[in-house]
Structure formats: C-alpha cells, structure tokens
Structure 1
Amino acid sequence: MSIAIDQRVPENLRVPATGDQTLGPADFKGRIVVLYFYPKDSTPGCTNESRDFAANQAAFDAAGAVILGVSRDSVKSHENFRAKQELPFDLLSDGDETLCDAFDVIKMKNMYGKQVRGIERSTFVIDADGVLRKEWRKVKVPGHVDEVLAAVRELAGS
C-alpha cells in the first residue's frame, strides 16, 4: 500500500545514501523534503532533472527544503553521478525498492518494444511534520523543478 496525500511518511523508511550514510525522509524532521525518484543515473532525462534541482538548490534552501534523489542504482553509481554532475544534495540507493514500493513508483514501462519494470519519474513533497503534501507522477523534466519549488514555497509560507 502506498503513502497517500495527507498521510504521515513512516519513520522506518531508510536506505543507503551517498556520503556513507543511511537516510530517509524522517531524518529531516522540521524541514520540507523534496523526494524525487528517477529511473537511472547518468541518463539524459535523469541528468537534466538532477541538474535542474541542483541549479535551484539555493532557492530550496531558502524555503527550508532538503532535496533527495532516489533510484535503484548502487551507492557507488550515485557517488560517481553526484560527483560528475556536482550535485549538492544526497542520492538514495533503493536497490531493494523499499522507498519505491512505499511511494508506488515501480511501473511496467515499454523500452524498445519490451515490457520492463522501472521507476516512473515522480516527485513528492513531505512537510516539516513528515506528512506527504504533494505528488507529481509521470513527470516531464522541462519546467518540473519550477513547479516543485512553487509548491515548496507555498507550503513554507514564503
């Protein structure tokens, strides 16, 4: 069962992350959390989306929000992707699909005419009390980060 809007995000959702950490949304109580799920490190759409979030880091910081990227890639892959793209936020490695299942982002997709299970590009905003307040599914990258930032600013009252 996936987490629905206005539901509290379970505190036990923690996965390996960059920087030799284990993190989850509950680690950021008191701050707004932007949790964006993307299919794969170092692919064009995922790189553009991550760069867009990175380019707006200061604005998210000013609104009291932390950004976390999530995919099923390994921490090592995330470390390389993060370094190459100079991402100023942590990436979470969800190899066992703990977070993916909780937010229901694993879908059947068509890749080159074949059905494959993969992450549907999605973003979630969790308020400072740990409650899911906003979600975007089937995200198209252009303009997406601006929408998320507007929602975060509204939530923060700024």
Structure 2
Amino acid sequence: MSIAIGKSLPAIKLAATGGREVDLKSYKGKPLALYFYPKDNTSGCTLEGQDFSALYPEFQRTGVEIVGVSRDSVRSHENFRSKYGFPFTLLSDPDELLCNALDVMKEKSMYGRTYMGVDRSTFLFGADGKLKRQWRGVKVKGHAAEVLEAAQSL
C-alpha cells in the first residue's frame, strides 16, 4: 500500500541511534525528511548520508528534521553514523514496519538472484504531519539538494 500526498505520517515506533525509541508521532509540529536507504556502509548509501549531512545546517534553518531509515540494526547504525559523523537520527526497521507502511520494499535482483530490498526513497512531511512530496527509485547524485529545495518551499 503506497502513501498518497496529503496522508499522515504513520504512527510507528522504532529503535533509533542514541539508544532511543522514536515514535514518529513525535515529529508532528515539525517538518520531516524521512529517507530510506538499502544498507549501512555501502557506497551509494554512504554518499547519500554524506550529502544529507553536508546540507544538514540548511535543513535545520528551514526547520526540517532529517531521519534516515534502513533495515540494519541499531548497532550497525551507530557505527555508520559515528564513522561518517552524521548529525541526524537513523531508525532501525528490521521488521519492515515503516518500510511496508510507505511501500518501499521492492523486488530486486543481483547476480541472477531475486530478493526483496529497500527501494531508495524519500518522503517530505509538513509540520502538520501530512505528506507533501515523495521521491521513489532515487538516484543519489543531487537528491539531497532536491529535497532541500522542496523543503525550503514548505
């Protein structure tokens, strides 16, 4: 089930970096850029995180919080975040609760084998908790800047 523009941020709780559990409802009242990526410490996911990290001060000036999500463990996220100095929260979704709620699980293939994986996607929610923009099948280059531009127009 895909989420449509104008729909609310799902009320889901997930384990997060910093030893916390984050209830997505807690972001209501503040715009949120929620980006999904396949795997910690892979080239594309590292570049995407670095791009969001580099633009983080500008996102903060617009009042938009950035949160990354993958199926990796919190421990993996902590190492990934620490290694690259990401200033934003990473959520662990090993049971694919949020992934399924936002329909980011897609069939992929590598080396002739098919499997279900995270489709690189970003969702921009307004302060009212409603979806304003979404990007699916994201290409990393220039993506964070595109999300920032959309965030600045909220």
Common topology (TM > 0.5): yes
C-alpha distance in structure 2 between counterparts of 1:24 and 1:118, whole Å: 24
CA deviations over 1:99-127 (Å, ceiling 9, x no partner): 00010000000112211110000000011
How far the C-alpha of 1:134 sits from its partner, in A, is: 0.5
Alignment correspondent of 1:7: 7
Residue aligning to 1:96: 95
Indicate whether 1:139 and 2:152 are aligned: no
- Residue 148 in structure 1 maps to residue 142 in structure 2: no
Residue in structure 2 matched with residue 32 of structure 1 by the alignment:
31
Matches of 1:131 and 1:13, distance apart in 2: 15
Unaligned runs of 5+ in 2: none
Match of 2:63 in 1: 64
Mean CA deviation greater in 106-115 or 87-96: 106-115
CA–CA distance in structure 2, aligned partners of residues 36 and 111 of structure 1: 23
The aligned counterpart of 1:75 is 74
The separation in 1 between residues aligned to 2:95 and 2:140, in whole angstroms, is 25
Distance 2:102 2:23 in 1: 13
Q: Which residue of 2 aligns with 1:48?
A: 47
Q: What's the TM-score, normalizing by structure 1?
A: 0.95
CA distance in structure 1 between the partners assigned to 2:123 and 2:111 by the alignment: 28
Aligned residues: 154
Q: Which amino acid aligns with 1:7?
A: K
Unaligned 5+ runs, structure 1: none
**1:118 pairs with 2:117:** yes
Q: CA RMSD in A?
A: 0.9
Q: Determine what percentage of the aligned residue pairs are the same residue.
A: 53
Whether the 8 Å CA contact 1:78–1:91 is kept in 2: the answer is: yes
